[in-house]
Amino acid sequence: MFVHLPSRRKPRPPWATLLIVAACVVVFLWLASMPSVQRLAVLARWGTVPSTLLDANAPWLQQLTELRAARLVTAIFIHADWLHLTGNMLFLVVFGVSAERALGSARFLAMFVIGGALANLVGAFTLAGTSAPIIGSSGAVSAVVGAYLALFPRARLGLVLPLGIFLEFVRIPAPLLIGFWAMLQLLFTYVGPAFGAVAWWTHVSGFAIGVVLALLSKPAVARRLRN
């Protein structure tokens, strides 16, 4: 999959996207170097654990000292395996570079973190009482996909499709392809549990949050383009 974003001036390096990718890879390698027992302890400590996050009986001072709310953010940078990491980073690079150039690196980074944290919060509410941690940047990356759709509704995405023994490059309208992806995420909120433990509502809510944040940022984007 490829994204083309025409520009009249030389684009700046997408440092926010590169920083996110580097952080996720470093954290993954750090966790992979640990014994399994210690690694699971870190996931439980810094992942978004619904039963812990939504424990209304815990004193507020305990919640503050344990940084429970902060785990909505730290969970974004933790991934379970290489497939989990690679899939998220691929989507981030494909859609994030163009979104970052439009929004600006600082605003894009803030949208990624805020969108991911809010998506994890929604996921925690949908899985209230569950002690398994929600981890991964799927919610934040879904926010990036939603932001891309809101910023570039007329864009076309390039796909390489196998047609018989040949590979064919085709361009598909972004709303069509992303809309199909979004419907799949919504469908899997109902049938997804049969295919594994995935917090599908983080994908759906992250996508919606990304659309809203990008629409709210459009005046700032217009000012950046004028300047």
C-beta separation of 215 from 139 below 8 A? no
- Alpha-carbon dihedral of residues 190, 193, 198, 199, nearest 10 degrees? 40
Give pLDDT, residue 197. Answer: 55
Give pLDDT, residue 158. Answer: 73
CATH topology of domain 12-226: Rhomboid-like fold (1.20.1540)
Question: How would you label 5-32 residue by residue, b for 16+ Cβ within 10 Å and e otherwise?
Answer: eeeeeeeeebebbeebbeebeebbeebe
C-beta separation of 101 from 14 below 8 A? yes
- Tell me the two tokens of residue 129: 């009482």
C-beta separation of 75 from 47 below 8 A? yes
Question: How would you label 173-210 residue by residue, b for 16+ Cβ within 10 Å and e otherwise?
Answer: ebbebbeebbeebeebbeebeeeeebbbbbbbbbbbbb
What backbone phi and psi angles, to 5 degrees, belong to 207?
-60, -50
C-beta separation of 171 from 158 below 8 A? yes
Give pLDDT, residue 193. Answer: 52
Q: Measure CA of the first residue to CA of the last residue in the chain; give whole Å.
A: 31
Give pLDDT, residue 194. Answer: 43
Q: How far is the C-alpha of 58 from the C-alpha of 193, rounded, in Å?
A: 29
User: Which segments of the chain have a pLDDT < 50?
Assistant: 2, 4-7, 194-196
Predicted model pTM: 0.87
Residue extents of the structural domains in the chain = 12-226
Give pLDDT, residue 206. Answer: 96
Give pLDDT, residue 16. Answer: 96
Give pLDDT, residue 82. Answer: 93
Give pLDDT, residue 210. Answer: 96
Q: How far is the C-alpha of 192 from the C-alpha of 105, rounded, in Å?
A: 34
